[in-house]
Every structure is written in C-alpha cells, then in structure tokens.
Amino acid sequence: MITDEVPLLDHHCHGVVDADLDRPAFEALLTEAPTAHPGRSGFDSLLGAAVLRWCAPLLDLEPHCDPERYLARRWELGWSEVSSRLLRAAGVDTWLVDTGYSSVSLTTPAELAGLGGGVAHEILRLEQVFEEVSRTADAAGLAAAVEAAVRTRGAHAVGLKSIVAYRTGLELPAQPPTAAEFTRAADTWLREGDGRLANPVLLGWLAHLGVRVGAELGLPLQLHTGFGDPDLRLQRADPLLLSDFLSATRHGSATVMLLHCWPFHRNAGYLAHVYGQVRVDVGLAVPYVGERAHEVLAELLELAPFSSVCYSSDGYGLPELLFLGAKLWRRGLGRLVDTWLADDALPLRTAERLVHGIAAGNAAKVYIHARPNGPTG
Amino acid sequence: MITDEVPLLDHHCHGVVDADLDRPAFEALLTEAPTAHPGRSGFDSLLGAAVLRWCAPLLDLEPHCDPERYLARRWELGWSEVSSRLLRAAGVDTWLVDTGYSSVSLTTPAELAGLGGGVAHEILRLEQVFEEVSRTADAAGLAAAVEAAVRTRGAHAVGLKSIVAYRTGLELPAQPPTAAEFTRAADTWLREGDGRLANPVLLGWLAHLGVRVGAELGLPLQLHTGFGDPDLRLQRADPLLLSDFLSATRHGSATVMLLHCWPFHRNAGYLAHVYGQVRVDVGLAVPYVGERAHEVLAELLELAPFSSVCYSSDGYGLPELLFLGAKLWRRGLGRLVDTWLADDALPLRTAERLVHGIAAGNAAKVYIHARPNGPTG
Amino acid sequence: MITDEVPLLDHHCHGVVDADLDRPAFEALLTEAPTAHPGRSGFDSLLGAAVLRWCAPLLDLEPHCDPERYLARRWELGWSEVSSRLLRAAGVDTWLVDTGYSSVSLTTPAELAGLGGGVAHEILRLEQVFEEVSRTADAAGLAAAVEAAVRTRGAHAVGLKSIVAYRTGLELPAQPPTAAEFTRAADTWLREGDGRLANPVLLGWLAHLGVRVGAELGLPLQLHTGFGDPDLRLQRADPLLLSDFLSATRHGSATVMLLHCWPFHRNAGYLAHVYGQVRVDVGLAVPYVGERAHEVLAELLELAPFSSVCYSSDGYGLPELLFLGAKLWRRGLGRLVDTWLADDALPLRTAERLVHGIAAGNAAKVYIHARPNGPTG
C-alpha cells in the first residue's frame, strides 16, 4: 500500500502505563467506558479484534490468538519490552504528547521516545495550568498569572490543548470576556468551586488566551471534539458549536486543531474547508473503529482540504493503541487512496502528497516549522 | 453467507394485519408517511424494490415482478397463507411483540407465533398502561396504581417499552420527579389533558419507573429512538439526548434497549460503548434501507461492543417487513462479516460469536435468561 | 454505466463568470471558504483533483495535469470557449438558474443556455425581491407589495428560492405571523435595519408566502439546507429544523425542494420519506465530494423515495462546477445502480426509472409540467 512505509508524526498521543497490567487493568484501558460491566469485555469489539490480529504477532504470537494467551505473553515480556516492540512498529518518528492529568502512572514524553524511537515534544493542557495557578492566585491576579504560566511552560511545548468539551461543551463565545467579567467569575469560582475549572466565562477566556498566545508563540491550539469518555456529553462536543469562535479568530495567525471529531467528522471536515486556520484528525476513532478506518477517513476527506488533515492515534496508556492508530491508519488510508489510484481519480504524485501531508507534513508545518526558534522542550 | 442459517430472536416487532389488504392499505403500511401523496408509491424505494425482489418468490412469483402482480397473488393466497410463508421464511424462533395501540387490527403474539413458528412473548408499552390506569385513578393514587399495573402486567411480559420520543422527546431527566412534583403534574394533566400522556414530568417519572421496576423484574426497558413516523420530531429522538438519564441509571441492574436509532446509529453505538447497560439495534432501518443494510450495520459496529447489538425487524402490519428485516439483516451483516473474514480482520470463531450474539444470544441474555422465573406470558 | 447518456435537468445552478480568471480568482470560486489562506489551494482537495482529472481533457490537456497548465490553457481558450465546452459536456438540456445576488458578474440564464445548449429558466430569490421592494415601501404596504412583486416576477420563473438558512436558520414557524405581527416587525426593520433581511418574523412570513403563492402558481419553493459558505451556521441549516413548517404545509399542493443537504442528507431523505411534498437533492455536495458521490447518494436513497430525488449541480461561477456536478453524478449514481443491478437488487426497468427520474423526470414534473401555462420566462 502507498502508506506502508511513510514515517508518521503522531500529533496527539499520551504516555503508556509504566507497569505490567492484569486483565481488568488492561481491559479498562481498551474502552472509553468508565466502569467495567459484567459480561462485557473490551476484546469484544472491532478494537479488541484488531489488538489480537495486529499486535499479537509483534509479541511472537499467532494472529487472532485468545485474549488470555495475549495477556499472558504481555506479562511474560514485561511492559517495557512490549511497549518498545509496539511503539517501534508504529513507524512514528515524532510524538506530540499531551501531558495532562492521568489517573494512572504514564511514561513521560522522553520515556515514550526512548521506548518507541524518534523524538517527543510536549503539548500543554491549558485547564491544568489554570487549575494549578489558581491554587495560589487571587481573582485580581489570576488572568496575568495564568498567562505568564502558559507563556513560560509553552516555551517548552509545541502546542496547547483545551478540553473545554469535557467541561462546558464547545459553544465558545466569539469574544473573550472583559477583564471585569473575568474577575467577577474568577472571584466566585475561587470562593465556591472545588478547584476544577468548569466555569464557562473562565473557560471561554482560556480558549481565547490559547488562540492569542498560541499565535504569538507558534503553538497550535488543540481542541478535543467528538467521542471520548462519558464525562462529556457527546452532543456538546460537536465541532460545529465552535463556529462563532472559529469565525471570530480566523483572521489571526493561530492554528486550531480539531481532535477526534467522530461521529462529527464530516462537520469537522466542513470547518476545515471554510476556515483556513483549522486542522482536523480522526485520532482515537481510527484505532477504535478498526476495519472501518477507511470509511471514517473517506468521510472526513469529502470536504476537508488534503492539507488540513493530520495523523494522530490519541493512544493513551496502552502501547497497543499508539501502534494500532498507526497500523489502521496505514491500512485504512492506504486502501482508500489505492482505490482512488485504481479508479484513476488521482495521479500518483497527488496521492503521495496527500499521504505524506496527512502522515506528518501538515502537522510538522504548524507544530514544528512555525515555532520562532523550534521546540526547546 | 455466515448468517444464512442462524436462528433469530426478533426482539422488537408487532403483529401483522389479520385481513386481506387492497393496494392503498398495503402501500400505507409500506411507508412511515402518514398520508398518501399523489404520484408517490411505497414500491418506489429501496424497501419496495426489496419486497418485489425477496418476497415475490415466496409467493411463487418471479423476483422483481410488478406490484400489481404481487398484490393480486397476495390477495389470491389470503393474508394467513402469505403471513405464514413470509414469517416462516424469516427463520425467527422467538418473537418479542410490542402490543401497544394500533390503528388497524393486528394478530396477537400467540397468533403471530402460530403463523410464523416459534414462540412469542409480550413487550409492555408503558405509556399505554399509564393512560389506561389514569382513566380510573386520581392524582394522589396514580403513581401507585400505575406501578401496580406495570408489575402485574409485567409479570406476563419479557420487556417494557417507552415511546417518550414521540411525546416530549428523549431529553429525560437524570432523576425522577419528587412525589409532590408528580402529584402536581398529574393533577393538572388529569383535569386539563385529553388522556394522551404528553407531560414531561409524568413521562420522566414513567421512564424512571421502567428502569427501576424493570431491573427488579428482569425486564429490559426499550426506548424508541431515531426514525419513525412524523408524529415525532426526529431531532428530539437522537439517543444522545438520553445521556443524563443513562449516566444516572448506569449503576443499577437495568438494561436499556435503544431501538431503531437510524440516522443516529453511530451515536447509539457510542452510548452502548460507554454505558454497559445499553443495548442497541437498527430495526426498522434494516428493512427500509434495503441494499444499504450492511453499511448501517457497519456504522453501528464502529463503536458498539459486539455483545451490545441485537436483531430486530420492528415489522408492523405487513409480514413482508418482519421477513425483510431478517432477510436483509442476514444479507447485510453476512456481507460485512464475510468481508472482514476475507480481509483476515477477524477469525471465524469471533465472527460466529458476533453473528450468533446479534442474531439471538445478546437479546436472549437480557430478555429471557434474566427473568427470575422465565417468562410466564 | 446506466447513467452515461441520460439527459439532465439541472434544477439548481447559477450563471458562470463572464470573464477570464487569474489563479486567485479561479481558486476563490473552487471553495466555499470566504478568504484565501496562505498555503491553501483549492486544488488540494477531492474537488481540485476532479477538475484536473475530468475537465482538463475537455480543454485538450492530459488528465491530471498541473494546475498551472490547466489555468494557462483556460486563459488561452478564453472563458466563453471554456464554458461552452464544459457546459455542453455536462449533457444538461434544461438549466434552472438562481438569479440571486452575486459579488461577481455572471451570465444570465439565456447566456448560460446559449453557451451550454438547451433551455434555461429562472428561479426567483425571495429575499432579494423582499429587499428590493422594501426600498420603496412602508411597513403598512410592504406585505402586499412583496406579494405582488413575487406574483409578477414569478410569472416569468419556474420556481422560488429562500436562503433563510443563511439569515436566521431553518427553524421556521408552523404558521405565518399575523398581519399585525408582520407590520410591527416590518416597521422596526425598516427603521433600524440596513436593508438586509435577517428578521425572523419577516423571514417566516416570506417562507409561508413562498409556499402559498408557489402552490397557486405551480412554483416549487427551494430551500437552501446544509453545506454552504460560513455566512451560515451549519447546525442551523439542518433540514430537520423544518419539521414543523413541513408538517403544517403538507396538505396543500406546494412542493418544497431541499437543496444540498450534506452532511444532513440522511435527515433530508427522512423528510422526503414522510412528507409527500418534499423533494431533495445533494447538489453542491456532488461536485465537492468527488470520488465520494456514490456514497452520499447512497445515504440519501436509504429513505428517500426514488421519485423525490432530483439532480442539481449548484454550480456557481465556474463552468467546471456545473460540468463536474453532472460528471460525478453520472459516475456516482452509475456506480451505485450498476452495483445494485449486479447484486440483483433491482430489475433493469426499475433502475432506469430511478435514473431517469433523478436525472430530469422528477424535477420536470414539479417545475415544468405543474405550471398552469408552462414557463413564460
């Protein structure tokens, strides 16, 4: 396939668990469901089938082996060897790692690159910076302190990320709140809140900060959209809700990355079509939907310009997810583009540009080449 | 195909009309449109094409015969013989029959099983129980009387069903109303209403009753979602609107079945992924979309765990719909799974488990095996 | 393919630019994005690939030539020769031309037909009539003056069009405002507005006028839905928002055409299924999605009756778009129907009726044959 050997830039992933996992712990990471359910197994899905099909041979097992066999071999080899084999098989040479909170211990970006080869850079989670700074700031000084922290920590990162979809949803305001509105909201939140940022005024301010400071420092702003765990309400994570925000911020030099997007990936493709600052991916979806990756990618590409689409796995915790993101992306996009070539819909040079752009080039332009002095992290 | 011979449990269907049908009456049942329209024929669609392709041979006609020929032969054989031939050809051994209101006379569950073979059980329509009980109750006694009736009648059923999507939409509250809120709403509704339950407080209470009593009696709660006749507003039937309700009820032992779901079947698959108590089908859609069934099933399976998907036809009135649900499901899922086998994405034993689970096993677990003493209806 | 030679009625298109275009001007018309963005090219998409694949040979170039070569040859031949070649290759014999505002100079309907062959008729943009009339009317006389103008100008047209999706979205009221409500809204709007009609009361009135007068004069009412430039908010252009309006107007003799619809084309298919007065197309989407046209058409046909679907390109400005609408429709629907024939899902005569209906017959019935005295424009 045309995608077989192309090196990838995984522009949105997380670390892997730095410990051996028993079956419940492994299965808990093989689903976005928050709790185990009797009679449900994470293997019982297209994702589970893909783990047994594609990961097992990398652990010297037959494809399609039993979950028990797979997990026993995983334990036998140890998390570090397993991670190294799977991550190296992904063919990724650059990892952009979201270092936001995690309920389990994960590898650092440097450790991830050590295991998987290539280099890793950090993506800075805005809500986490805000929450950390808020522990020692008062309402009057909060905005300045958060901005200073984003600038300081952003100097060591290649991108910013907001998970506002999980907090109040994506209906961000076209304009940031005024200073007075911010202070009033901050004052109430600091007095009455539990430290978790879920105030729409403060979150709107923070997203606009991300665009403003991101443009200045050459840091794209990633926004979680679509599919994720049920802490979010999926209908509030439709990227179309960002329309006012994207329209208002389209004339600057900021780049906005819409992550995941499924099942709203056609909507995201439309936004990438009409707003030049928008980039999109179908990370997370690609490993989960297994054999259906080509169809999800095809729907995204109906409207999305080729230069707006980026590869990511959104793998979290399990190296299987970071590998399968890559493997199923190669398989899905490869099948799609090979069909287009066979139907003479594209010439080979356009197909290659499309594939290399999505694999790495489009992301490299905005994360790596756009930095005034390159990443320093 | 891998699905050719697998016996089905049709977990959501209705009776068939127990009379011979002329063309207008037949065509009225071949569409969800409420009124006939000049120049429109129910045969003029993928569903209509499927009737002529797949049902005609069962009536000793050539495939693709003219509608006139088909209807003449149908009349000649008589509704009972036609129903028997079509229903038996469905290969269904268990029918779960929604016995809610119908504007036309339909077979009882026992009559349906008599015609089609196998056994039939009843699904109890909650709104109908509520409306019947309300005719002789006052506001103070209504809640207890409805609950008692649901328990009494539920003892003879294998599941409960709510059509709240048709009344106020699926945005159900996370918590049921308090007793005082219920009584106030009931009082107003009994005095001012026309006997049709369309009050959001009462409907929210009833859905929570369904979950609570259903869990206790081992009766899954079916919820109509998605596509149906235009008594509903499709945008209020998006299953994502159930998120708060599903989140709040996920720790109990209730099972919630999302019926139909099209065109929101990807959303429904997401809910089945993140909430362990959720099951999904694409009944009604499967016969209607004809040759497209494999694609609709594929989209559902992107996120839905294999063990969460159930077969149903939602056939109503015409035995053609109960047969085509089965035939097109076999054809659509068979094509899909055979492709996955050919691409070596799944091993045969996983494919067989998937097929048998969707065909009958997943539904049998929650409707039949979960009953404390089995169905008594 | 079964669609290769079938003559088309393009029931929704615009004129082409009557001047030669340099690269920025050409690319600006090859996207719905409002502004150029550094590093973005309109050629870098499925649409761009389709231009180079299918249009280049009509200008005596190799398929898949470079954009530079394509544009140079285009300039060399001149806009008139290029337009004539592309439009004639579309195989369209009737063009229904939306003559609404344009920021660039476009051919008239007569000029378009002169270039492309066949005949052209006008579609009258309601908001434009309203805005023109409002310049010389007062609030008390506005309703009557607009109705008179619609009647006068409608006598020379074959259809009406509303772009209310761009103004306040598709959530139209079931009933028009009262005369007093209209006058009050008109009074405020005339005093305070800038001449652009974006008042929901007045727009609701105008849509109902379109249905009422349209029914009387035999003029279908076209409604923009779905995808378009970002003057609209895509979530407010979901045709499901029209449900109340369609339900309230379903018993008259008006025809309502839902244009474009993507990415809500399944929703539109549902509306066409349940409301007999509704027709649908996936114009605009078809040329843009290139190789994906068969899938978009397939999703539309899941529920839409065959007799409710119409062909259009929604081509605007570039003759390439009017040609590719036709070319990709032939290719996409042809592939779909040929597969259905190969799978024996349809007989040839049904396939031919389906193809000819969508190509021209379904639209001809409501635009041309429904006119009391035929079009006079």
Compare all CA atoms of chain B with the CA of C303 and give the residue at the minimum distance: B289
Q: Which chain C residues touch B if contact means CB-CB below 8 Å?
A: 238, 240-241, 243-244, 247, 250-251, 266-267, 270, 273-277, 298-299, 301-308, 340, 343-347, 350, 365
Closest Cα in chain C, distance from residue B44 (Å): 6
Compare CB distances from B288 to C303, C340, C344 and report the shortest one's residue. C303
Residues 6+ apart with CB under 8 A from C272: C258, C278, C279, C280, C303, C304, C305, C308, C309
**Residue C377 pLDDT > 50:** no
Q: Residue A373: what pLDDT? A: 58
The beta-carbon contacts of B88-91 under 8 Å, at least 24 apart in sequence, are B88/B115, B88/B116, B88/B117, B89/B58, B89/B323, B89/B326, B89/B327, B90/B8, B90/B10, B90/B116, B90/B313, B90/B322, B90/B323, B90/B325, B90/B326, B90/B327, B91/B5, B91/B6, B91/B7, B91/B8, B91/B326, B91/B330
Separation between Cα atoms, residue A218 and residue A214, nearest integer Å: 6
Specify the DSSP class assigned to residue C252.
S
Separation between Cα atoms, residue A334 and residue A33, nearest integer Å: 30
Per-residue confidence in pLDDT tens, chain B, 377 aa: 999 999 999 999 999 999 999 999 999 999 999 888 888 888 999 999 999 999 999 999 999 999 999 999 999 999 999 999 999 999 999 999 999 989 899 999 999 999 999 999 999 999 999 999 999 999 999 999 999 999 999 999 999 999 999 999 999 999 999 999 999 999 999 999 899 999 999 999 999 999 999 999 999 999 999 998 889 999 999 999 999 999 999 988 899 999 999 999 999 999 999 999 999 999 989 999 989 999 999 999 999 999 999 999 999 999 999 999 999 999 999 999 999 999 999 999 999 999 999 999 999 999 998 766 554 43
Q: Which chain B residues touch A if contact means CB-CB below 8 Å?
A: 238, 240-241, 243-244, 247, 250-251, 266-267, 270, 273-277, 298-299, 301-308, 340, 343-347, 350, 365
Compare CB distances from B301 to A34, A46, A53 and report the shortest one's residue. A46
Q: Residue A148: what pLDDT? A: 98
Inter-chain residue contact B340 with A291, CB threshold 8 Å: yes
Q: Residue C373: what pLDDT? A: 58
**Residue A375 pLDDT > 70:** no
Q: Residue A46: what pLDDT? A: 95
Compare all CA atoms of chain B with the CA of A234 and give the residue at the minimum distance: B240
Separation between Cα atoms, residue A296 and residue A326, nearest integer Å: 15
Closest Cα in chain B, distance from residue A174 (Å): 26
Inter-chain residue contact B347 with A39, CB threshold 8 Å: no
Inter-chain residue contact B44 with C303, CB threshold 8 Å: no
Chains in touch with C (3+ beta-carbon pairs under 8 Å) read A, B
Inter-chain residue contact B33 with C275, CB threshold 8 Å: yes
User: Which among B211, B200, B194, B114 has a CA at the least distance from the CA of B160?
Assistant: B211
Separation between Cα atoms, residue A132 and residue A195, nearest integer Å: 9
Contact criterion met (CB below 8 Å) for C133 and C145: yes
pLDDT tens, position by position, A83-115? 999 999 999 999 999 999 888 999 999 999 999
Domains for chain B: give ranges and CATH numbers: 8-20+78-367 (3.20.20.140), 21-77 (no CATH)
Q: Provide the percentage of residues in chain C whose pLDDT is more than 90.
A: 90
- Polymer length of chain A: 377
CA A147 to each of CA A151, A377, C173: distance values in angstroms, whole numbers, following the listed order: 6, 19, 46
Element of type H or E holding A158:
strand A157-162
Inter-chain residue contact C40 with A276, CB threshold 8 Å: yes
- Identify the band that residue C37 occupies on the pLDDT scale cut at 50, 70 and 90: confident
Specify the DSSP class assigned to residue A140.
H
Inter-chain residue contact C49 with A273, CB threshold 8 Å: no
pLDDT tens, position by position, B8-54? 999 999 999 999 999 999 999 999 998 888 888 889 999 999 999 99
> What average pLDDT does range A119-137 have in this prediction?
97
Separation between Cα atoms, residue A319 and residue A300, nearest integer Å: 26
Chains in touch with B (3+ beta-carbon pairs under 8 Å) read A, C
Q: Residue A376: what pLDDT? A: 46
Residue numbers in C near B35 (CB within 8 A)? 250-251, 276
Q: Helix, strand, coil proportions of chain A in percent (round to 5)? A: 55, 10, 35
Separation between Cα atoms, residue B146 and residue A328, nearest integer Å: 52
CA C342 to each of CA A15, B63, C334, C356: distance values in angstroms, whole numbers, following the listed order: 49, 14, 12, 19
pTM value is 0.97
Closest Cα in chain B, distance from residue C110 (Å): 32
ipTM above 0.95, yes or no: yes
